[in-house]
Amino acid sequence: MAERKRSGLGGRGLDAIFGPDVEKVLDDIQNSSLDVPGRRELEINISEIRPNPYQPRKEFDEKALNELADSIRVHGIFTPLLVRKGISGYDLITGERRLRAAKIAGLTKVPAISVDFTDEEMMEISILENVQREDLNPIEEATAYESLVRNLGYTQEKLAERVGKSREYCANIMRLLRLPSEVQQMLVDKKLTTGHVRPLLSLKEEDKIYDAALFVLKQKLSVRDTENYVRDLIGNQNRPGRKEKNKDPLVRDLELRMQDRLGTKVSIGRRSMTIAFTDTDDLNRILEILDCLDRSVTE
């Protein structure tokens, strides 16, 4: 496949374009103050617009969409959609809420700005715009972060800088994707909070995580009670052949606090400390939290 000829954006690179303020980038595209190749203002048929495959948002508030549709019926669409020309029709980059509301309002055409973005640029601006709005649910946010790491080669340090969060926050929220799908859905449906499900990851096995989540949900446990419940489960698993009852309470408390911080089993002996991990990715996650990775290797 021939390399796509680029100018403007392509010459400066993603870092120079999409960070740290994606909203400003979109404003600059709107008012023509940013040199964007192929920029064109046009009105296009809704039927010609394909959904954005990189859109991290899966849940849309129906009430809010209907309210936006009512506004569009009266005032029209103030902010054009951002699209790029495809082989046939257009690919949506940003503006899915406006597009959905326009359909509800009965519009057949919408105002748009077409730009020549690559797949990478399209993915990055789509994800970052949604993340910076800060109204994604935790699983959508975790999936968005994971996409930037997997598809664009972000290190956790670069990810944290780009989305304005700490590395520990990014690492911990991405770990939510290790939850069984049923538990992820409990989180999406707001039956459980991130504070409830984060301790469950210490149980490792999916069946145990799911069973524990059901217990927490049915018993309506608080976050603190959930943490204590998981600690008891882990303690019961480790009890055979161990002398946890005789361990110094201060040492045991330190183990539990480190387990909460690292999200894995930690055991402190007389002259050694053991930190458990499941695979290479889990080890790298722990090393990131401890700031022990060689950045020259990861970047």
Give the residue among 86, 89, 85 at the shortest CA–CA distance from 38: 85
- Enter the DSSP assignment of 243: -
Distance CA 179, CA 183 (A): 6
Burial degree of 109 (CB within 10 A; 0-12, 13-18, 19+): middle
CA dihedral 149, 261, 218, 212 (to 10 degrees): 80
Residue 288 appears among annotated catalytic residues: no
Closest by CA to 147, choosing from 159, 137, 132, 135, is: 159
**Beta-carbon count within 10 A of 32 CB:** 11
Q: One-letter amino acid identity for 272?
A: S
Give the strand pairing for 109-114 and 81-85.
Answer: parallel
Q: Count the Cβ atoms, other than its own, within 10 Å of residue 28.
A: 15
Three-point CA angle 248, 249, 255, nearest 5°: 95
Contacts of 187 (CB under 8 A, 6+ apart): 137, 138, 139, 176, 179, 193, 194, 197
Whether 274 and 267 have beta carbons less than 8 Å apart is answered as: yes
Catalytic residue among 48, 96, 120, 124: 96
Catalytic residues: 96
